[in-house]
Structure 1
């Protein structure tokens, strides 16, 4: 063997060695590194809404498959139950309204807000029967008003009353779940009902309910997507993909309102004519969590503390996502 051949062989060996080392370094810093590719299951807790639509399409499973992440789905009847499941470590991701996260954080849940819808103030309102003499917010003074205690509409009513010069004690609240409140509304055993869609739309369509005020200019009425602090910190790539897929559902819904109403009507067991009303006034959009959005949640927390609904002052920023700017 010549000296020239030996040198060529050594150069080839060195080239291969450097290439292998570079590949190893690249793999270690790749978004699909071994640690991230370790198989695990994303456990989603869903209510009957956009997460159900996402589940039905199967696109999330396809997006997560290259990361060796599978998905399990558990349906819940309401946000508070979802958040309790998060608190005990049974789920990693879910969807919820404005109020339940306040109570969950107050109870010590390791909550992380990871995305929010745009404000949807037109989707909740104060309703009165068609024959009612109540014509304005001022006319609510001294009246019996039904609402779900500690809910987004509870906060909405407090803010609405203050905006019109009334105090919380100026009205007589009757705390009822939506189904019971509707029954009381039909019997005229209450004077007004503060409620959200699709119950709001159903009352308009089937009972002829009149709107005294919706939440426009009063509160935001957002929905939120949440995770645990640990899951959001350890799996930001998974969270990004889930939110991206939800944005696609949102964009599709905005462009296909009639089909969205059909799917939601079947999901909710509600007449499509009712869901059409709710969908037509719905605002569409999913966005990152910002300090301004958490500031809105802080106002809710402060109000609930004033009302004695939560025992201590709450710092909502402690539930900020790990990547909050």
Structure 2
């Protein structure tokens, strides 16, 4: 064998080996499973949740459909412990994406969790105060010195404190107890607490004649609402940008469908698979535009609310210091999804006060 041929052979083998190594690396780099943590216990079979385009993604199995040909499995994990439990799972790298509310997301950021906020998935969620049917409590001011359930560390916690402050009260003026959603319902029905702060889940209890709503943020200042968004672990995003884009694409598709008023009845039926009746969704979304509640946009209103959450969390000593959020929002994937699906003018952008921005695109009807 000539020296020239031998050299060519060595080069060829080296090139083949390099190609094999690159192929092997690519196979190893591609995720075998995408894990999404959801900050609610959910309900139904399969387990789902409502009030968010994310529930549409889950209910229709659009992510499973998206990744089937790629051989990538999609796992949904639901957490009874809500946002705080999701943060623990993120910290332990047990999940790749997280759907949760604004306060636990901010607490996670302040505690060093490396995440990126990709898009909104459930904006302007309302907050309610409920009591037993026979209670003499008529409003917020009547909660003074009463035993009241508040699920601390969730996105309703800060709103509850802001509502109290607007009525001349603070959490310390109540006999506040920290209960999760299920425990709070059981306590109220058994008269273990005098009142409870919560969300749409209370309408089912009300309609059963076991509770009454004495306060609602519906129709009030949007600053008294709660926001929920989709996060991704920073290291997962860096290693799998193509998969992150596909996930965002699907969530945007769901937001588009869930924003269409023609789909209102079907949307509520889909969300009702979680165990929350259609009547509850009708009450939660009464006189509210689907496109406002289901918009994925990270606009000035959303950014302003997250900054306010940071400030309020510091005041309540839920975090030790203010953390910047501007660099936390990563809307590259959202913008790409909107452009790809022709939805760049689909939703109205709102200013920091929750009003349509001057010159903002109107919500397109599809």
**Taking structure 2 as the reference length, what is the TM-score of the superposition?**
0.67
The residue that corresponds to 1:262 in the other structure is 269
SS in 2 for 1:44: strand
Residue 105 (structure 1) aligned with residue 109 (structure 2): yes
The residue that corresponds to 1:202 in the other structure is 204
Q: Distance in 1 between matches of 2:307 and 2:161?
A: 15
Within a 5 Å distance, the mapping from 1:65-84 to structure 2 comes to 70-77=72-79, 78-84=82-88
Aligned-residue RMSD, C-alpha: 3.3
- Contact 1:114 1:288 (8 Å CA) reproduced: no
Change (3 A) 1:296 1:224: same
The residue that corresponds to 1:21 in the other structure is none
Change (3 A) 1:130 1:258: same
Pairwise CA distance, 1:116? 0.9
Pairwise CA distance, 1:279? 5.4
Post-superposition Cα deviations, 1:130-189, rounded to whole Å, max 9, x if no partner, equal 332222322222222211012222111111122223233322212111222112212333
Q: Distance in 2 between matches of 1:277 and 1:291?
A: 27
- Contact 1:247 1:285 (8 Å CA) reproduced: no
Pairwise CA distance, 1:35? 7.7
The equivalent position to 2:254 in structure 1, one of 245, 249, 252, is: 249
SS in 1 for 2:157: helix
Pairwise CA distance, 1:86? 2.6
Post-superposition Cα deviations, 1:202-249, rounded to whole Å, max 9, x if no partner, equal 232122412323263142311100112234455555434322322322
Residue 221 (structure 1) aligned with residue 190 (structure 2): no
The residue that corresponds to 1:27 in the other structure is none
The residue that corresponds to 2:214 in the other structure is 211
More helix by share: 1
| Higher alpha-carbon deviation: 107-116 or 131-140 | 131-140
- Contact 2:139 2:214 (8 Å CA) reproduced: no
Within a 5 Å distance, the mapping from 1:120-135 to structure 2 comes to 120-121=124-125, 123-135=126-138
The residue that corresponds to 2:11 in the other structure is none
Within a 5 Å distance, the mapping from 1:94-243 to structure 2 comes to 94-117=98-121, 119-121=123-125, 123-197=126-200, 199-206=201-208, 207-214=210-217, 216-217=220-221, 218-233=223-238, 235-243=240-248
Change (3 A) 1:272 1:298: same
Change (3 A) 1:157 1:264: same
Residue 304 (structure 1) aligned with residue 293 (structure 2): no
Larger Rg: 1
Unmatched 5+ residue regions in structure 2?
1-24, 39-47, 336-366
Q: Distance in 1 between matches of 2:310 and 2:215?
A: 26
Unmatched 5+ residue regions in structure 1?
1-33
Pairwise CA distance, 1:314? 2.8
